[in-house]
Amino acid sequence: MKIAILSQNEALYSTRRLIEAGEERGHEMRVINYLRCYMNITSHRPSIVYNDKPLENFDAIIPRIGASKTFYGTAVVRQFEVMGVFSTNESQAISRSRDKLRCLQILAKDGIGLPVTGFAHDTQDIDGLIETVGGAPLVIKLLEGTQGIGVVLAETYQAAKSVIEAFRGLDANILVQEYIKEAKGADLRCFVIGGKVVAAMKRQGAEGEFRSNLHRGGKAEKIKLTPEERSTAIRAAKAMGLRVAGVDLLRSNHGPVVMEVNSSPGLEGIEKATEVDVAGKIIDYLDKNAVPGKHSDRIKY
């Protein structure tokens, strides 16, 4: 097969591993910086031009779209789709997953376990919002944040009120969430490919830190999921229409709850913690499933 990896940087661990895994399996691998592509949106003959040449005859693409480049990145993925090229994740599913609130709404509709969550922009009813999630302590999140930035633990009602007022002054969209204290600063990253969990790790935040993000000094280790955790991760990826997903769970008193579903999950942390060849599993999935023009996204939201 001829496979394109849409990535801004060839030197990234995830990109390098995908090239390696593809070449080991005899495929022609090419890295395309999607920001440098331009598109010709002509009736009957849509095309993409990169380095002055049209991109032709690809069997599949693996999008690795940066969070801040979602708009243009998903437009390039969509252009490949209208040209009939199979993508590990469809453009619609990537866009959907990039909106935290939309994610939670879709997961809630499918009955998937979630932390109790409230959403607001400019509410006057701060008391009501805090009550919705059962009072302090609670977690407040900026909707646009990534890597744990803009995620605040408010221990008291007064602290919660001040932070909500401060964010409101910034004209930001916020989520207010029940604090899952019993998770003890750890979360589970489940790597789902084609409806199966292929690897799972537990990330533990640094001492005194409730956020487990590896970028914030968290440590990762391999973990065995319970059947309930496994099925929650699989259902979450399916609800979002993602063929490849990183599903983040917290272990709560009321069972596993989903915090986030990531459409371009990184490979470095999970491969190093679990010693699973996750890149190879993505390529194997393409080997079995990359049918030209195949669309499976039927999600209405």
Give contact residues for ligand ADP (rule: CB under 6 A): 115, 139, 141, 145-148, 151, 177-180, 183, 187, 205, 210-213, 248, 250, 259-260
Shorter beta-carbon distance to ligand ADP: residue 79 or 177:
177
Which of 15/177 has CB closer to ligand ADP? Answer: 177
Tell the smallest beta-carbon distance from residue 145 to ligand ADP (Å).
Answer: 5
- In Å, what is the CA distance from 149 to each residue of 132, 145, 233? 24, 6, 24
Q: Which is nearer to ligand ADP, 180 or 244 (CB)?
A: 180
Residue 182 C-beta: closest distance to ligand ADP, Å: 9
Measured from the CB atom, is 153 or 276 closer to ligand ADP? 153
**Single-letter residue type at 160:** A
Please report how the helices 227-240 and 100-109 are oriented relative to each other, as an axis angle in degrees rounded to 10: 110
- What distances in angstroms separate CA 272 from CA 156, 165, 219, 236, one per listed residue? 38, 41, 11, 24
Residue with Cβ nearer ligand ADP (64 or 98): 98
Q: What is the DSSP letter of 281?
A: H
**What's the min distance (Å) between Cβ of 84 and ligand ADP?**
33
Shortest distance, position 203 Cβ to ligand ADP, whole Å:
7
Tokens representing 159 are 């602290």
Give 32 or 154: the residue with its C-beta nearer to ligand ADP.
Answer: 154
Task: For residue 24, give Cα distances in angstroms to 18, 265, 281, 282, 291.
Answer: 10, 22, 12, 13, 21
- Closest separation in Å from C-beta 106 to ligand ADP: 16
Distance CA 152, CA 163 (A): 8
- For residue 91, the minimal CB distance to ligand ADP (Å) is 21
Cα distances (angstroms) measured from residue 260 to each of 18, 104, 264: 23, 8, 12
CA distance 121 to 99: 15
Helix (H, G, I), strand (E, B) or coil at 210: coil
